[in-house]
Amino acid sequence: MKKIELLQSDFDKLQCEIELLSENVDEAYADRDQFESKLFRLLSVAHGLLAAAAAARYPAAGAPGGDGTSDAAKECRGGGFVRLPKIDLPHFDGDYQHWLSFRDTAREGADKHGSLHTARLLLDKRQHF
């Protein structure tokens, strides 16, 4: 698909030159429209076929035959990735009177889980004061 898109870019450059040099600009525009219509139709079919092949290879989560695993998880399987612990984030209702307690709770939670580096915490503190 990338090769086709590169060829489309080359076509566009050449077609622009043709249109600039052409005595019959309307005919050159018609040629461009005809070519691009066919190209986009074929690209659409190709994308559909690729999507169908991907769906057959990796059934969607919850679909019949699917195991509930996302495509991204299947791609990463066996790649040595580590599952991170779940972090419950505090909720902020938008009331400025609740901001300080929300901020402190969020920072404490991030610091407790080691998600923020100390320098990042100091930078955040400096920005809020």
pLDDT tens-digit series, residues 16-46:
888 888 888 888 888 888 888 888 888 888 8
Report the pLDDT value the prediction gives residue 15, as an integer from 0 to 100.
86
Mean pLDDT of 117-122: 59
Indicate the pTM of the whole model: 0.40
Mean pLDDT of 88-102: 81
Task: Tell me how far CA of residue 13 lies from CA of 8, 25, 33, 75, 106, in angstroms.
Answer: 9, 15, 14, 37, 53
Res. 62 pLDDT band, cuts 50 70 90: very low
Buried b (16+ CB within 10 A) or exposed e, 79-100: eeeeeeeeeeeeeeeeeeeeee
